[in-house]
Amino acid sequence: MIFPAPIFLYLLPLAGLPIVFHFVLKQKKRTVVFSTLMFFHRTDPKLNSHRKIRQWLLLLMRILLIAFILLALSRPIFQSSGGLGGKISVVAVVDNSGSMSDGAGYDNDKTKLQCAVTSARRLISTLEDGSEAAVVLLVDDPAVEPAEGRSDRNPALVGDSLTSDKESLLALLDRIRPTQATGDAGRALARAFGLLRASSAGGGAVHVFSDLQQTEWGTVSERLEAGEAPITVYVHKIEPEIQDEANVAITAIQLPEERILPKHTYSIGLVLQNTSDTVANIRLNSIDSQDSKNTENVTLARGRTETVEVETKPDENGYHWIKVWIEGDGFSADNEAGVGIFCEETATIMFWGTPEEFGVLPVALSPSGQGQFTGMVAEFRLPGQLSQTAAEEKPIMIVMTWTGLQLMGESSVPLREYVEAGGNLLVVPSVKPGRRVVSEQLPDWLGAGIKAREVYPRGAGLEVLDDRTTFWHRIRDASAGSKLEPVSAYVFHPLVLAGEFTPLLGVDSERVVIAHRKLGQGNIYVSGTAFAPQWNTLPLTGLLVVMTQRMAVGGGSSEGQRTLSLVAGERPRGIMAEGSEVEILSLVGDPMDWKGKGQEIPAFPRAGVYLVRTDDDKYCISVRASEKEGLEKFVEGSQVPIIGQMAHKILPYDEAEDFGQHHKGQARAIESYLFLLLLATLALLAEGWLGSHKPSRAGSAGLDHARLRRAGQSTAEERISEAETVPVAPVNRLSRKVMRIIGKSPADKITGWRAG
């Protein structure tokens, strides 16, 4: 018997309180002198004996009432023994994490997951009809749910409750497929324990089928509590196959930190790590949504990490994907990654002024003016229209002259807000002679100004002042790593810069010509030289096109479009869709067409690219395989750390295992607190009836003279002794009447009265 609330058992001695009140606090007898004993002779001796029996029954009912209430509060659970042929509760926890897709260390040509499913099927199949069971997965997999959809599914199939329908559980096991995710062992065990605690049996057995990878089972979980329910855990350890080959995993994805426009080449960084102790020679393959394929051979020393870039060039706007996978290593479950990007429509470059003021810059950004080659369209606005058009058209970059910015004065606040929200601003000198620029008259938030113009008829060489910056890294990627052509400046204004700026090009560190700074989510670029042949040689090189286009596509993504990067097995965070409808579509990888509420978004168990649509936004989610699954570290010994001190056994995997030997003596528990409460109620009713019942006095009223004569033949001592045996209540009433007549104190002790 199990007592989930044993503290009330310690209070059981309180059931003896009625005995204490009956004997210890009982009113003591007193001897009183009477002139005659005739009043006592009228008492029927049978009534005295009946009254004593009733008093003892009343005492017993009070004791039982207290005892039954205390036992009910302790919530006792009775167990009945049974074997595998009995009706018991069982939960099978199947490890479907990425490591289980590797081969098992047995001569059966099966993966570890296939071995786990085979044993789980045997466990469920051998249960007798009427027994309850459930299957819980280490990695939540939407593909395991029935094809008819979430609303019509059997709740037992997703581990929500126990069921006696063995056929549905066997069908669930048949749908389990390998994943590329790291499982949550603590969560799976907590779910299994919760199912058994909520069952009618109040306990049962948990069978775990796993390779006991250290990543999932080697940590201690604080949320595992079996409570007082009788639960036993059996861990069937499936030994892994010994691997001699090196293993390389994709550990991170580096997405472009810029807007993606059509006709531009973008590089995706893939971080590869050799997690083994031998040198790895692998092939990194990729294919994108435009059927562009690429293969690159990579050699990694043991423990080394390297970033390999994969290029893509979207031809049109919309969502695009890249599938990447590794060949040539010893473990495949951590070799895949999906990369999703959103290519925007043709973007607008807004020039504030006339085309003559900006030299060849409009042509460098938009050669055709319609965006066919660069995805950018150049538009010109007159002074006074900038604030309104920037708010409505949302250009990706605004280009203006130093003179125009100086004329804005205090009205430049909308321009600052545009940059902080993710826009790009480029400030250049005007090619046309104009008003002299005074740095003190420029907006304070800009943080830059220009000095007096310097002229070099033969040209002053411009050099990259810091080639470690992200800007130049992106330039090298766009130019395919080729060396930058030398550039000379004939006319330029040295820049006056605040500390937030990073110099990009200049004659030297004292004469910076082009610089960059971040402001909010956007960028500010300032130039002391105009983009015209009479000012410098930039228009004669390819650097002008690459550099200005990289300036334009920097900053945040377009409104309503988001990109997220996840590891398989994770749920997406940051999707604001609580209570609204969400739809998930698979672009590449594991098919996953799902609809439901925002708070019910499932985890992504396999690598791929998925589009998540909410009422307001769209999210492009890139999922890569978990790099933890390729680690060959497993729990050793007789204890599983995550289970802790709970009762559990580690058993070697046996394909023909007899599960009945583990269930012998398995308890099927029955809670009895309701039965005890019923008994307490009956005791209370009996106590009330006995306490309120009054015996009939008819027998005492009709005593005949013969009885009086027989009573009168007894000696005075016998009569007094007889009087002392009468019930307490009549004696007390008679004593009070006599005491009032003779005026004696009830506490006085008198030996009796004798005539003569």
pLDDT tens for 267-287 read 889 999 998 889 999 999 999
Please tell me what DSSP assigns to residue 369: S
pLDDT of 131 reads 82
pLDDT of 77 reads 66
Is-contact 93 217, C-beta < 8 A? Answer: no
Reported CATH class of domain 248-330:
mainly beta
Tell me how long the chain is.
756
Distance, CA of 588 to CA of 288 (rounded, Å) = 10
Beta-strand relationship, 495-497 and 487-492: unpaired
- Per CATH, is 81-243+635-671 categorized as 3.40.50.410? yes
Same fold, 81-243+635-671 and 248-330: no
Please tell me what DSSP assigns to residue 99: G
Q: Locate the DSSP E strands across 614-684.
A: 618-624, 648-652, 666-671
Tokens (6 digits) for 298? 């990579």
Tokens (6 digits) for 368? 């055709």
Residue 221 dihedral angles phi and psi, to the nearest 5°: -105, 130
Instruction: Identify which of 477, 467, 471, 469 has the alpha carbon closest to the alpha carbon of residue 265.
Output: 477
Please measure the distance between the N-terminal and C-terminal CA atoms of the chain and give it in whole angstroms. Answer: 72
Distance, CA of 360 to CA of 145 (rounded, Å) = 60
Residues of the chain with pLDDT under 70: 1-4, 24-30, 32, 34-50, 77-87, 145-159, 200-202, 222-229, 383-391, 477-484, 555-561, 660-671, 693-756
pLDDT tens for 638-648 read 889 998 878 88
Residue 491 dihedral angles phi and psi, to the nearest 5°: -135, 135
Distance, CA of 428 to CA of 505 (rounded, Å) = 14
CA dihedral of 684, 687, 693, 695, whole degrees rounded to 10? 160
Q: Locate the DSSP E strands across 301-442.
A: 305-312, 318-327, 336-343, 347-352, 376-381, 397-401, 424-428
pLDDT of 71 reads 83
Residue 359 dihedral angles phi and psi, to the nearest 5°: 65, -130
Which 3 state secondary structure label does DSSP give 300? Answer: strand
CB-based contacts of 647-652 (< 8 A; 24+ apart in sequence): 647/231, 647/232, 647/233, 648/232, 648/233, 648/234, 648/235, 649/232, 649/233, 649/234, 649/235, 650/212, 650/235, 650/237, 651/234, 651/235, 651/236, 651/237, 652/236, 652/237, 652/239
Beta-strand relationship, 487-492 and 454-464: antiparallel
- Kindly report the number of other CB atoms within 10 A of residue 445's CB atom: 14
Q: How far is CA 193 from the centre of its chain?
A: 18
Q: Provide the H-helix boundaries in 74-141.
A: 112-125
The pTM of the whole model exceeds 0.75 = no
Task: Map 380-417 to HEC letters.
Answer: EECCCCHHHHHHHHCCCEEEEEHHHHHHHHHHHHHHHH
Q: CATH fold of 347-553, please?
A: Rossmann fold (3.40.50)
Estimate the crossing angle of helix 470-478 against helix 543-553, to 10 degrees: 120
pLDDT of 334 reads 92
Is-contact 72 680, C-beta < 8 A? Answer: yes
Identify the residue whose tokens are 């006056």. 496
Contacts with 25 (C-beta within 8 Å, 6 or more apart), sequence order: none
- Each domain of the chain, given as residue ranges in start order, spans 6-74+683-742, 81-243+635-671, 248-330, 347-553, 561-624
